Structure 1
Amino acid sequence: MEQLLLHLRNLGFTEMESKIMVELATKGQASGYEVAKQLGVSRSNVYAALQRLTQQGYVRCGEGEPARYSVLDPEELAAMISGRVQASLAYMESEMPRGGPVSPSFYNVEGDRNVLGALVRQLNLARQEIVVDVWREEASLLRNELEQAERRGVRLLWAFDGGNAATAPYPAWPPLGGELPRSGGRKFSFVIDRCWCMLGMRYEDGTAQAVVTEHPVLVELLLNHFTQEMVLFELEEDMGAELTKRYGERYSRIYSKYVLHDQAEEEPEEPDERAAGQLRSEDAAD
Structure 2
Amino acid sequence: MKENILEILKNLNFTEYEAKAYLTLLEESPLTGYAVSKNSGVPRSRIYEVLDSLTMRGDILVSPGNTPQYTPVPAKELIKSRRMKAEENFELAEKSLAEFERSANDRENIWNITGRNEILEKVKACILSAKKRILLEVWKEEFEELESELRQAAKRGVNVTIIAYGDIFSDFANVYLHYMGREITEEYGGRWIVFSGDDSEVVAGIVSLGKDSRAAWTMHVGLVMPITEVMIHDLYLMEIMEKHKELLEESFGENLVNLRRKFSIHPDFKKHYVD
TM-score by length of 1: 0.50
* Corresponding residue of 1:168: 184
Specify whether residues 249 and 199 from structure 1 end up closer, same or farther in structure 2 by C-alpha distance, changes over 3 A only: closer
CA apart distance, 1:187: 0.5
* Corresponding residue of 2:193: 188
Distance in 2 (CA, whole Å) between partners of 1:222 and 1:170 is 23
Q: Does 1:242 align with 2:247?
A: yes
* Corresponding residue of 2:108: 104
Equivalent residues of 2:130, 2:158 under 8 A apart = yes
Distance in 2 (CA, whole Å) between partners of 1:247 and 1:122 is 38
Distance in 2 (CA, whole Å) between partners of 1:262 and 1:205 is 28
More helix by share: 2
Between the two proteins, the alignment pairs up a number of residues equal to 164
1:199 to 192, 204, 211: 204
* Corresponding residue of 2:25: none
Equivalent residues of 2:207, 2:214 under 8 A apart = yes
Distance in 2 (CA, whole Å) between partners of 1:205 and 1:220 is 28
* Corresponding residue of 2:152: 148
1:223 to 223, 228, 243: 228
In structure 2, list runs of 5 or more residues that go unmatched: 1-91, 168-179
Equivalent residues of 2:132, 2:198 under 8 A apart = yes
Equivalent residues of 1:132, 1:158 under 8 A apart = yes
In structure 1, list runs of 5 or more residues that go unmatched: 1-92, 173-182, 269-286
TM-score by length of 2: 0.51
Distance in 2 (CA, whole Å) between partners of 1:237 and 1:263 is 28
Specify whether residues 162 and 216 from structure 1 end up closer, same or farther in structure 2 by C-alpha distance, changes over 3 A only: same
CA apart distance, 1:139: 0.8
Instruction: Give a deviation string over 1:130-178, Cα, whole Å, max 9, x none.
Output: 1111011111101010000000001111111117997425955xxxxxx
Distance in 2 (CA, whole Å) between partners of 1:230 and 1:165 is 14
Equivalent residues of 1:129, 1:156 under 8 A apart = yes
Instruction: Give a deviation string over 1:43-78, Cα, whole Å, max 9, x none.
Output: xxxxxxxxxxxxxxxxxxxxxxxxxxxxxxxxxxxx
Q: Secondary structure at the match of 1:219?
A: helix
Equivalent residues of 2:115, 2:212 under 8 A apart = yes
Q: Which has the larger radius of gyration?
A: 2
Distance in 2 (CA, whole Å) between partners of 1:113 and 1:248 is 38
Q: Give the number of the structure with larger relative contact order, counting CA–CA contacts within 8 Å between residues 6 or more apart.
A: 1
- The amino acid of 2:208's aligned partner reads Y
- Superposed CA RMSD in Å reads 3.3
Distance in 2 (CA, whole Å) between partners of 1:194 and 1:223 is 7
* Corresponding residue of 1:209: 214
